[in-house]
């Protein structure tokens, strides 16, 4: 077995572990110069936020794990081009958003192709009845009365663009300007998406609110 891999793997992080917490900008500057220990510290600092954002977007822990990894690798490669006028986390969110967005687009495309293939494979009569609507089981319906579950369901009914904007605002607390940077949209577009998303959520949740 080659020992060199082991030595690289076990290389200690050279950052000082005193009370001094280096600022993002300091770590970014070191990492952009090739300091992997500084980048490792940035990963530790932001992995929870990046993973949560990916989870909220793709709704699968395994995919979110992979996509978060991809986001950090892309960030590492792009660090030399990082501009100081952006905040690091906003920039990292943007990369994460793009990685997840691309993944969802590809998955949608793949699903649609599979659906097409299935349509051609199974010939269905033009006037064949559609699948009957099955009423929810009583215990499941009861579970869904939980407001949290209702909100999750309602949010999942929003388009990807609307969902990400409302989550970035309400959950991550980003400003309009920051959301615009992350999603590569204008501030006006962010405001209108946010407005629409909230209205839609209120409408979807009206019944739940009334029943509480």
Partner 1 sequence: MTPSEKSLLLHKLIDGELDEPEKVAAERLLETDPMFRAELESLRKLGDEMRRGFPADLEPPSPDFFNTRIRHQIEEEQYAEANRTNSRGKELPEPRGMRWFAFPWAVAAASLVVAVALGLQDRDTGERGLAWAGPGGQTSVGTTYTPAAVVEADAFFSDAAQATVIRLTGLPRIPSEREIAGHSAASYRPSHVGTPVEIRDRGGRISVAMLSGVPGQPPNFF
- Min separation Cβ 203 and partner 1, Å: 11
Residue with tokens 């980003």: 174
The correct pick among 29, 40, 161, 185 for binding partner 1 (CB under 8 A) is: 40
The reply to whether 36 sits near partner 1 by the rule CB under 8 A is yes
Stretch that binds partner 1, among 20-28, 85-93, 119-127, 193-201 (CB under 8 A): 193-201
Round to whole Å and give the CA distance between 171 and 64.
Answer: 17
Q: Does 5 bind partner 1 (CB under 8 A)?
A: yes
Retrieve residue 205's tokens: 């949740």
Question: DSSP states of 145-198 as a string?
Answer: TSHHHHHHHHHHTS-HHHHHHHHHHHTT---HHHHHHHHT--HHHHHHHHHHHH
Q: Does 194 bind partner 1 (CB under 8 A)?
A: yes
Would you count residue 9 as binding partner 1 (CB under 8 A)?
Answer: yes
Q: How far is CA 84 from the centre of its chain?
A: 24
- Classify residue 104 as left (phi > 0), alpha (psi -120 to 50) or beta: alpha
Question: How far, CA to CA in Å, does 141 sit from each of 91, 136, 145, 146, 149?
Answer: 41, 6, 7, 9, 11
Using rule CB under 8 A, residue 191 touches partner 1: yes
Tell me whether residue 166 or residue 182 sits nearer to partner 1 (CB atom): 166
Q: Does 148 bind partner 1 (CB under 8 A)?
A: yes
81 touches partner 1 (CB under 8 A)? no
180 near partner 1, rule: CB under 8 A: no
User: What residue ranges bind partner 1 (CB under 8 A)?
Assistant: 1-6, 8-10, 36, 39-40, 43-44, 47-49, 51-52, 55-56, 61-66, 68-69, 72-73, 76-77, 147-148, 151-152, 155, 166-167, 169-173, 175-176, 191, 194-195, 198, 201-202, 205, 209
């Amino acid at each position: 077995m080659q020992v060199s891999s082991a030595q690289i793997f076990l290389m200690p992080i050279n950052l000082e572990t005193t009370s001094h917490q280096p600022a993002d900008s300091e770590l970014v500057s070191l990492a952009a110069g090739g300091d992997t220990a500084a980048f490792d510290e940035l990963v530790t600092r932001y992995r929870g936020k990046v993973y949560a954002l990916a989870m909220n977007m793709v709704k699968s822990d395994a995919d979110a794990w992979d996509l978060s990894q991809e986001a950090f690798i892309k960030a590492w490669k792009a660090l030399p081009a990082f501009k100081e006028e952006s905040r690091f986390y906003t920039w990292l969110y943007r990369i994460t958003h793009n990685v997840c967005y691309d993944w969802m687009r590809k998955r949608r495309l793949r699903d649609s192709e599979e659906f097409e293939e299935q349509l051609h494979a199974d010939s269905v009569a033009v006037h064949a009845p559609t699948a009957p609507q099955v009423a929810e089981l009583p215990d499941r319906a009861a579970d869904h009365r939980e407001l949290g579950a209702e909100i999750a369901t309602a949010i999942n009914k929003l388009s990807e663009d609307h969902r990400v904007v409302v989550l970035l605002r309400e959950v991550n607390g980003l400003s309009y300007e920051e959301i615009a940077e992350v999603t590569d949209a204008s501030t006006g577009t962010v405001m209108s998406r946010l407005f629409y998303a909230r209205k839609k959520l209120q409408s979807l949740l009206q019944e739940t609110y009334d029943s509480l």
